[in-house]
């Protein structure tokens, strides 16, 4: 179970969400809640409180229930995530092939623990259980979100689904640095750490 709270923050741009709801073109019901939360998560990279309040007003679902649902599912986050989310599969099949070592190597290089985001909001490290490609284990998936750069507001991205998830199969601790290097083109944030 996740222990999370909503961030208190200033207004965010809600125009995109408003248009999205208008385009759905039907009377909102309770079963629209999860798709709306997914849209919000994809647009902002997390669930900003003002957006949830807007959903609450539009669907007439109380905030307490929205919070209950949003905190139940692992896809949703109440804090901004890094530009790239690194998911390391630690499911049984990947575990027996050495996923633990891969995860700790990534954490060591980035200086973050499971679930944390680097200070520059470039990477978030997460462990997940089984991504359904067990033949290729250990698996690392690096997903990029255009919006999720620790910022909020602005126009939501067009695509409804998270952008460009990239799968890396049969990852060994030795390969980690090279893979991460592909995502750190500007500044060498990996230098000095580990080796």
Partner 1 sequence: MPEPILSRNFSKKNAHTLGVYIQGGGYEALKKALTEMKPEQIIQEVDKSGLKGRGGAGFPVGKKWSFIPKEAPKPKYLVINADEGEPGTYKDRPIMECDPHAVVEGAIITCFAVGIHWAGIYVRGEYVKSIERLEGAINEAYAKGYLGKNILETGFDLDMVVHRGAGAYICGEETGLLESFEGKKGQPRMKPPFPAIVGLFQGPTVINNVESIAAIPHIVKNGGEWFNGLGAPGIGGGVKLFPVSGHVKKPGVYELPMGTPLREIIYKHAGGIRGDKKLKAVIPGGASAPVLKPEEIDVPMEYANLAKIGSMMGSGAVIVMDEDTDLVKTLRVLMCFYAHESCGKCTPCREGTGWMAKIIKRIEKGEGESADLDTIVSIANGIRGRTLCPLGDAAVGPALSFVTKFRQEFEDYIKVGAG
Interaction site with partner 1 (CB under 8 A): 1, 29-35, 37-38, 68-69, 72-76, 90-93, 95-97, 100, 128-137, 161-162, 165
Torsion angles phi and psi, residue 87, rounded to 5? -105, 120
Nearer to partner 1, 137 or 156 (CB): 137
CA distances from 112 to 7, 62, 86, 101, 124 (A): 21, 35, 12, 15, 8
Tokens of 89: 């599969």
Q: At its nearest, how many Å lie between partner 1 and the CB of residue 60? A: 12
Q: Are strands 140-144 and 123-128 parallel, antiparallel or unpaired?
A: unpaired
Nearer to partner 1, 5 or 193 (CB): 5
Q: At its nearest, how many Å lie between partner 1 and the CB of residue 112? A: 19
Nearer to partner 1, 112 or 139 (CB): 139
Nearer to partner 1, 132 or 195 (CB): 132
Place of tokens 């250990």: 138
Burial class (CB in 10 A: 0-12, 13-18, 19+), 121: middle
Q: Which of 35, 59, 30, 51 is nearest to 147 (CA)?
A: 51
Tell me the sheet residues that pair with 89: 128
Nearer to partner 1, 86 or 131 (CB): 131
Cβ pair 87, 140 in contact under 8 A = yes
Q: At its nearest, how many Å lie between partner 1 and the CB of residue 33? A: 4
Q: At its nearest, how many Å lie between partner 1 and the CB of residue 76? A: 7
Residue 168 in 3-state DSSP? strand
Q: At its nearest, how many Å lie between partner 1 and the CB of residue 80? A: 18
Tokens of 50: 């003002």
């Amino acid at each position: 179970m996740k222990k999370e709270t909503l961030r208190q923050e200033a207004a965010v741009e809600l125009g995109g969400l408003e248009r999205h709801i208008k385009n759905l073109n039907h009377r909102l019901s309770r079963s629209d809640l999860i798709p709306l939360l997914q849209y919000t998560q994809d647009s902002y990279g997390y669930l900003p409180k003002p957006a949830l309040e807007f959903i609450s007003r539009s669907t007439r679902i109380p905030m307490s229930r929205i919070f209950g649902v949003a905190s139940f599912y692992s896809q949703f986050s109440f804090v901004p995530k890094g530009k790239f989310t690194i998911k390391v599969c630690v499911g049984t099949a990947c575990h027996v092939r050495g996923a633990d070592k891969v995860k700790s190597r990534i954490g060591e290089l980035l200086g973050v623990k499971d679930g944390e985001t680097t200070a520059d909001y470039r990477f978030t490290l997460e462990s997940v259980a089984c991504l359904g490609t067990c033949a290729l284990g250990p698996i690392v998936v690096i997903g990029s979100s255009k919006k999720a750069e620790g910022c909020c507001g602005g126009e939501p991205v067009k695509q409804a689904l998270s952008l460009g998830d990239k799968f890396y199969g049969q990852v060994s601790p030795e390969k980690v640095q090279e893979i991460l290097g592909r995502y750190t083109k500007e500044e060498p944030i990996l230098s000095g750490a580990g080796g």
